[in-house]
A and B are shown apart, each in its own frame.
Chain A
């Protein structure tokens, strides 16, 4: 039995302690916005926030986040999240969309820490998130756009 604080709710999980957080979220809790891409923290599709820090849930054991606050794409909120998702839609960033939950979570974490990221900051924060559709031009533009929105 593992206790998780996820999206503001406390949930009891009947899962082995070493179960990856990703599969607890998807298969135990039935929230499918967080995606499986590689299982080795190489692609970022599974990115969630653990106490606000972008974290690859596919290699994070559920026992390691007991006592921490986990946030997924389903519940990410606040000024940065609103700006990022609005900018993403405004610029039509998505193509297949499968990686975009993870992209959004990484971008929100970046803007929460750094409200005026440079291109180098974006490269550093976002290069762990793979997009096989290569929507990177728009991801970069949308992060700058979101930063602008957050100024107002």
Chain B
């Protein structure tokens, strides 16, 4: 997912006022009624957007953009149009809760569906004029916006009832989806009032609830998508069908950066069901009536690739180059005090090197996209994570006008960052294929699992060197962290916002903002050139920086002869939220207390995306030397927890996702070729390896922050520190499966 967006700069856009004051809200009735129901729109003063400013004459009032989020149907159902993609993190449920709370709806009447792609109406308020999901920002950016949408809809329903019944609006109450007037003993469900509400003049101001009055926010309301997903009824992109649709499977270059020279499609065309074989900029596509024929056709292609421009190195060679670079100073990301002097005069100096492999996201639903291209229209259905980028790519490739291109967001079977592609890879391919057959038929491009594992867009490889000095009293007085690896955002539209002074924030996040009070601290970065496409992977920079920093802190605590929790706590006096989750997790885990025979503990604490997470891992080592993670106790501070059960689910899932990677996973190259291909050699965590997970949420009235990513970073170092406690071995090269722990 997208990292570094905490500073709310992206795509060279200024950030809009994300939480404008409630009393400046103005509400309007719907711009468009849908069916016999009502779409209630909210007008937000959208200050700060460059697009908006460009459209406004100098000196004019800030332009307003109507935002339609709520639809009320005659059957009393309330549908929230969700501007973010639902791919498991619970955004359907979370954003709908915010609306339902202020609308005083009954939870049973709430529905959710994806909003159409529209950067003006549905932008991420943390990202400027871009619609997209990432950086665990959905709840954080939409918290006030969606509550206002609900409150505005409620106000119109109240006005409609007052008008219909001839009573003062101030005497009307709303509760659980029923609008009532006690004095005249009248009541009506929303559906009966919706049409009249659409005729009402919206109030200029509407108040939001006092949090003390919340009945849904902060409660475990059930997920809106559970039933459909439990019964096989949910529709993902792979399930989308259109009349006459063809399925395409593609051959892509065998090494990154190679190009197509020629191909022989005789055998491919001989496969029954194959209709077309076309060359597109991304490779060669075989189209057929159904996946199986398309896949067999693809496998039957004979292709000559020009690999002279392709990557030829293997992972070991790349890592050796990184290691050599680490002997040289990099670009400065942080420099406090005088680190080298402090190291020179330290009582004890420790140094450790860490190696991190490429990682694939491997979402359960393989990448896919459906496109219907006509002479003056292009419709795209996909699990779009950055709708604005996907829309732009479809527009450019189709050659149509922006208003002729529609991106329909569908549920996605996971992403973990993979669908947030700055070059819109799935959409670009699918539109290219549709164009190559002149839009003769709708096209669904499906990636095989092998295409996914070998297709790039990996969490980058990194080499890191940490050096630190302790004084005679065991205080940490110097810290130097050098990071070597590829930039995720270089050469993408996100570079302008996320690369500052040559530092890609996603390479150093979690390192340059290390919370510990260390008087002399420096972080520097070598950004490398490798012809392997890289991308944000659940928690982005923190996936490696949390590991190296929290594992190294554990080493330092031991060298200082201090308890790892006490050692951290002493350096967290200015970071009470870090300290609070560390305290909560260790208390709940019984830190320092007795353990069952054969078990060991390790701890880590890390902030990402403004959420604070501490985890205590309890492990054992099997007779065959395997690490068995028995239990993880997790404490999280994500501000106000809109839905505590969803927060817990995201911590559980984040822990499992991170654990699978640190235990087993690496994408490795040999001569530029990816060595893994499917789930037998890129090994996912399975149920028999899933630890017991206990999640504790810090009670908070702070603004809510995200939970999709922050559960992932701490589990690796917590396990590594537990492995040390069990075996005396420091694991500094991932995955852990590389290390033989038998007899350790």
Known A94-B230, A95-B88, A137-B692; contact A122-B687, beta-carbon cutoff 8 A: yes
CB distance from B720 to the nearest CB of A (A): 19
CA A85 to CA B229, docked complex, whole Å: 10
Contacts of A96 in B (CB 8 A): 87-88, 363-365, 411-415
Q: Which of B291, B411, B686 contacts A97 (CB 8 A)?
A: B411
Q: Please, which residues of chain B bring their CB within 8 A of the CB of A43?
A: 364, 449, 679, 684
Q: Could you give, for residues 47-67 of chain A, a 1 whenever the CB lies within 8 Å of some chain B CB and a 0 otherwise?
A: 000000000000000000000
Query: Interface readout for A31-43 with B: 1 if CB under 8 Å, 0 if not?
Result: 0111111111011
The answer to whether B222 and A130 have CB atoms under 8 Å apart is: no
Residue of A nearest to B686 (CB): A127
Distance from A62 Cβ to chain B, minimum over Cβ atoms (Å): 10
B666 CB within 8 Å of chain A: no
Is B78's beta carbon under 8 Å from chain A?
no
Whether the pair B653, A92 counts as a contact (CB closer than 8 A) is no
CA distance A39 to B292 in the complex (A): 10
Chain A CB within 8 A of B594 CB: no
List B contacts of A73 (CB < 8 A). Answer: 231-232
In the complex, A111 has a CB within 8 A of chain B: no
Asked if residues B292 and A97 are in contact (CB atoms below 8 Å), the reply is no
- Chain A interface, DSSP helix/strand/loop, else mixed: loop
Known: A23-B291, A32-B239. A134 touches B225 (CB 8 A): no
Q: Roughly how many angstroms separate A106 CA and B226 CA in the complex, as a whole number?
A: 18
Contact with A along B643-672 (1 / 0, CB 8 A): 001100100111111011000000000000
B272 touches A (CB below 8 Å): yes
Interface string of B59-91 (1 = CB under 8 A from A): 000000000000000000000000000011110
- Tell me the complex Cα distance, A19–B294, Å: 12
> Per-residue 0/1 for A110-152: is the Cβ within 8 Å of any B Cβ (1 yes, 0 no)?
0000000000001100111111111111111000000000000
The range of chain B's interface size is 35 or more
Contact B656 A39 (CB under 8 A): no
Asked if B685 contacts A134 (CB within 8 A), the reply is yes
B-side contacts of A26, CB under 8 Å: 291
Whether the Cβ atoms of A19 and B227 lie closer than 8 Å is no
In the assembly, what is the distance between CA of A92 and CA of B227, in Å? Answer: 9
- Report yes or no: B230 in contact with A134, Cβ–Cβ below 8 A: no
Residues of B within 8 A of A36 (CB): 238, 291, 366, 446
Whether the pair A97, B229 counts as a contact (CB closer than 8 A) is yes
**Within the complex, what minimum Cβ distance (angstroms) separates A90 from chain B?**
8
Among A33, A98, A136, point to the contact of B414 (Cβ < 8 A).
A98
Chain B residues in 8 Å Cβ range of A104: 230, 232
User: How many cross-chain pairs have Cβ atoms below 8 Å apart between A and B?
Assistant: 176
- A54 to chain B: closest CB distance in Å? 14
Q: How far, in angstroms, from A107 to B646 measured CA to CA in the complex?
A: 23
Answer whether residue B31 sits at the interface, using C-beta atoms and an 8 A cutoff: no
| With A36-B291, A72-B232, A123-B688: A95-B678 Cβ-Cβ less than 8 Å | no
CA distance A82 to B365 in the complex (A): 26
Given A27-B292, A89-B222, A92-B645, A136 and B687 touching (CB < 8 A)? yes
A35 touches B235 (CB 8 A): no
Asked whether any CB of chain A lies closer than 8 Å to the CB of B548, the reply is no
Given the complex, which residues of B lie within 8 Å of A19, measured CB to CB?
292
Are B652 and A35 in touch, CB under 8 angstroms?
A: no
The 8 Å CB contact of B230, one of A16, A37, A89, is A89
Known interface pairs A72-B232, A89-B227, A134-B656; A38-B449 also in contact (CB < 8 Å): yes
Q: Which residues of B contact A99 (CB under 8 A)?
A: 364, 413
Q: Answer yes or no: A83 CB below 8 A from chain B CBs.
A: no
Whose C-beta in chain A lies nearest to the C-beta of B362?
A132
Interface members, chain B 540-594 (any A CB < 8 Å): none
Which of chain B's residues has its CB closest to A95's CB? B88
Smallest distance from the beta carbon of A104 to chain B beta carbons, Å?
6
Q: A92-B223, A132-B684, A137-B693 are in contact. Are A38 and B657 (CB under 8 A)?
A: no
A37 touches B687 (CB 8 A): no
A94 engages B223 (CB within 8 Å): yes
Decide yes or no whether A70 CB sits under 8 A from chain B: no
A45 at the interface (CB under 8 A from B): yes
Least Cβ distance of B298 to chain A in Å? 12
Interface size, A (range): 35 or more
A27, A30, A137 — most chain B CB neighbours (10 Å): A137
Q: Which of B228, B365, B660 has the most CB of A within 10 A?
A: B365
Query: How far is it, in angstroms, between the C-alpha of A135 and the C-alpha of B247 when the chains are bound?
Result: 31
Question: In the complex, what residue of chain B is closest to A38 when comparing beta carbons?
Answer: B449
B364→A28 contact, CB < 8 A: no
Closest-by-CB residue of A relative to B694 is A137
Does B516 count as interface, using CB distance less than 8 angstroms?
no
A73 to B228 CA separation, bound complex (whole angstroms): 11
The 8 Å CB contact of A33, one of B88, B226, B231, B272, is B231
Chain A nearest CB from B161 CB (Å) reads: 34
Q: A42 — which chain B residues lie within 8 A by C-beta?
A: 678-680
Task: Give B382-397 as 1s and 0s: 1 = Cβ < 8 Å from A's Cβ atoms.
Answer: 0000000000000000
The CA-CA distance from A129 to B364 in the complex, in Å, is 11
Q: Give B292's nearest chain A residue, CB to CB.
A: A23
Q: Which residue of B lies closest to A129 (CB)?
A: B687
Is the CB–CB distance between A35 and B365 below 8 Å?
Answer: yes
Nearest CB of chain A from residue B681's CB, rounded to whole Å? 10
Query: What's the Cα separation between A133 and B222 when bound, in Å?
Result: 18
How many angstroms from the CA of A37 to the CA of B365 in the assembled complex? 6
Within the complex, the shortest CB–CB distance from B645 to chain A, in Å, comes to 6
Q: Is the CB of A133 within 8 A of B657?
A: yes
CA distance A21 to B241 in the complex (A): 19
Residue pair B679, A34 in contact (C-beta under 8 Å): no
- Bound Cα distance from A136 to B685, whole angstroms: 10
Interface mask (A64-93 → B, CB under 8 Å = 1, otherwise 0): 000000001110000000000100110011
Say whether B290 faces chain A, with CB atoms less than 8 Å apart.
yes
Asked, given contacts A134-B656, A136-B690, A137-B690, whether A95 binds B222 with beta carbons under 8 Å apart, the answer is: no
Binding site for A on B (CB under 8 A): 87-90, 222-223, 225-236, 238-239, 241, 247, 272, 289-292, 362-366, 411-416, 446, 448-449, 645-646, 649, 652-657, 659-660, 678-680, 684-688, 690, 692-693
Which 10 pairs from chain A and chain B are nearest by CB?
Answer: A134-B656, A33-B232, A98-B413, A97-B229, A96-B88, A95-B88, A73-B232, A136-B690, A32-B239, A27-B290
Q: Which residues of A contact B (CB under 8 A)?
A: 16, 19-20, 23, 26-28, 30, 32-40, 42-43, 45, 72-74, 85, 88-89, 92-101, 104, 122-123, 126-140
Interface pairs (17), CB distance under 8 Å: A26-B291, A27-B247, A27-B289, A27-B292, A33-B233, A34-B232, A35-B364, A36-B238, A36-B291, A37-B366, A38-B449, A73-B232, A74-B232, A85-B231, A94-B88, A134-B660, A138-B652
Additional pairs, 11, CB under 8 Å, beyond known A96-B412, A133-B657: A35-B365, A36-B238, A96-B363, A101-B232, A131-B656, A132-B684, A133-B88, A134-B653, A135-B653, A136-B686, A137-B692
